[in-house]
Amino acid sequence: MESKILLPILGSYIALSLLSFGAYAIDKSAARKGEWRISEGNLHLLDFLGGWPGAWLAQKFLRHKTSKASFQRIYWVTVILHCACVGWLLSPYGSDALHALGRG
């Protein structure tokens, strides 16, 4: 992989992970106070877009959403789907598709 693309990818993972960790922290705080919550769908969307490392850390350190089995199942599906998409984009097929989009 070209080094000029590696830094933006790493930066996006860090930014999305921080955003995801923050969203889990806000949701945990709201749950304790009985206030408006962040929807599980939005948390999963952040996870899928690349914030899953931050979500995993938030689940471990904040102990949030760890005991809800249905949430955990969907969380791990989003992680697998995200990794599959990234793997495809890094493959020759995905690289060709990205190059074709850039030329269009």
* Per-chain mean pLDDT for the chain: 90
Are 20 and 51 in contact by the 8 Å Cβ rule? The answer is yes
What's residue 54's pLDDT? 97
For the segment 27-47, the average pLDDT, to the nearest whole number, is: 96
What's residue 1's pLDDT? 54
Q: What is the CA radius of gyration of the chain?
A: 16
What's residue 69's pLDDT? 92
For the segment 66-92, the average pLDDT, to the nearest whole number, is: 92
Name which of 46, 48, 49 is nearest 22 in CA terms: 46
Are 79 and 46 in contact by the 8 Å Cβ rule? The answer is no
Q: Where does the pLDDT of residue 104 fall: very low under 50, low under 70, confident under 90, or very high at 90 and above?
A: very low
User: In this model, does residue 51 exceed pLDDT 50?
Assistant: yes
